[in-house]
Structure 1
Amino acid sequence: MTQEVILPVPVLVVEDEGIIQQRLLKILTELGYKPDELIFTNNVCESIQVVDTQPISLALVDLGLPDGSGIQVIEKIRSLESNTMILVVSAWSTQESLFSAIKAGATGYVLKERDDAEVLLSIRSILRGGAPIDPFIAREILKQISEAEEPAQEQTAAEGPEQSILTSREREILDLVAQGLSNREIAEQLFVSRYTVESHIKHIYRKLAVTKRTKAVSTARSMGIL
């Protein structure tokens, strides 16, 4: 007879995009969670209010939120609950974002562009006491370690402060936008889902302070990003 697994509750899901909320709801339901065991929030303020009023066993946290960073939510949770399991589910794929999240108290980090099965595996790993790190970020860190002989200052100077505004993935997507590709065409070319592309573009708009594709391209070109 198989012993029933007791899932830690409640679960806080910090995510402002409705399509991603529905995706995470589906994944958590597949794991065995019931809707009334899940709390969804859209921003930092709502999340902190929830954390202040009740203990959280598991949190899935996005970093790019309308009123701030998910790092603030992670720090708040960790200041109140040392045993809470925290998995970052974000479109941000930089070493800096990973280190900031881990330093704040995150247990693991997975990119939104991963398929449902991979995100589910990351959550399961967290529940089993693991600390999953997205393979893409892990490879980037290992690559940087292997190239440690190259002076960091040269790399920073070559990239420039303007280019560092966007992640390498965001610059890649913006370049395809500049070529006239649609979100669907970009998704097919990069072998990711359409909502992943839309999520990246949303972050690009925020960082460049624009609301249109054409304006994003022209602004990026004026800043030397493209």
Structure 2
Amino acid sequence: MTNVSIVEDHIEFGLVLRDIINAIDGFNVRGIYNSAEDMLSKIYVQPADIMLIDLRLPGMSGIELIMKLKVILPDAKLMVCSTHNDNDSIFEALRAGALGYLLKDSTTVQVQMAIKELRDGGSPMSPFIARKVVCAFHESVLKIDNGLSFREQEIIELLAQGTSNKEIADLLFISTGTVKTHVRNIYKKLHVTNRISAINKIKKN
């Protein structure tokens, strides 16, 4: 029997996941926890082989929990289940030690296939997430390292398309102020003082 833990602060969604997973032959959900702290307090009482973790949790974040679990239980198989599909969330989770990444709009069949794939040694990802990972890899191979973060790279590419700060904020679900901060950081890293110079420098690379 493969035991599974779910860390999800929306109890209704946690119960849906439990029913989906318990319907798979050979799998059993040992517990649903509404916070990282709750899960850690019971980690040895209700041990699990697989853990599904939301990123946005009250208190300790899902990223922090993944990092702690990799130290406490290095053999545990950790998978994110989240609504967040931005590059920063994806790659921070993977760097922290997550072996898979599912979006919450995944179908029942997709969740069940992902759980079984994770048990069997795979790294399941929602198609949208897998595409982002592949694209990021291609970019890292094709582009000279310019020191920009994934978010900054997203923003400079949108700037190159003529997208305004407000439009970028709407597309990336962040505030206009956050966009402006990223733009200032881009200028600093590229050693330029304006948008045109930044775009031209990226295109040359």
Supply the distance in 1 between the matched residues of 2:50 and 2:137 (Cα, whole angstroms).
32
Corresponding residue of 1:31: 24
Q: CA deviation at 1:12?
A: 1.4
Q: Do 1:162 and 1:223's aligned partners in 2 also have CA atoms closer than 8 Å?
A: no
Deviations 1:26-66 (A, max 9, x none): 1111113676x521110121122122555431111111112
SS in 2 for 1:78: helix
Measured at CA, do residues 224 and 53 of structure 1 come closer, stay the same or move farther in structure 2, by a change above 3 Å? same
Paired positions, count: 168
AA matched with 2:134: L
User: Given the two structures, how large is their TM-score scaled by the length of structure 1?
Assistant: 0.61
Measured at CA, do residues 39 and 161 of structure 1 come closer, stay the same or move farther in structure 2, by a change above 3 Å? farther
Matched, 1:135 2:134: no
Supply the distance in 2 between the matched residues of 1:161 and 1:33 (Cα, whole angstroms).
50
Corresponding residue of 1:156: 155
Supply the distance in 2 between the matched residues of 1:124 and 1:167 (Cα, whole angstroms).
34
Indicate the structure (1 or 2) with the bigger Cα radius of gyration.
Answer: 2
Point out where structure 2 has 5 or more consecutive residues left out of the alignment.
181-205
Identity %: 25
Matches within 5 A, 1:180-191: none
Supply the distance in 2 between the matched residues of 1:13 and 1:55 (Cα, whole angstroms).
12
Q: CA deviation at 1:78?
A: 1.2
User: Given the two structures, how large is their TM-score scaled by the length of structure 2?
Assistant: 0.67
Corresponding residue of 1:100: 92
Point out where structure 1 has 5 or more consecutive residues left out of the alignment.
1-6, 172-206, 208-219
Corresponding residue of 1:17: 10
Q: CA deviation at 1:162?
A: 8.2
Q: Do 1:92 and 1:167's aligned partners in 2 also have CA atoms closer than 8 Å?
A: no
Corresponding residue of 1:58: 50
Corresponding residue of 2:79: 87
Q: CA deviation at 1:144?
A: 4.5
Supply the distance in 1 between the matched residues of 2:89 and 2:48 (Cα, whole angstroms).
23
The alignment yields a C-alpha RMSD, in angstroms, of: 3.4
Measured at CA, do residues 221 and 116 of structure 1 come closer, stay the same or move farther in structure 2, by a change above 3 Å? same
SS in 2 for 1:88: strand
Q: Do 1:47 and 1:73's aligned partners in 2 also have CA atoms closer than 8 Å?
A: no
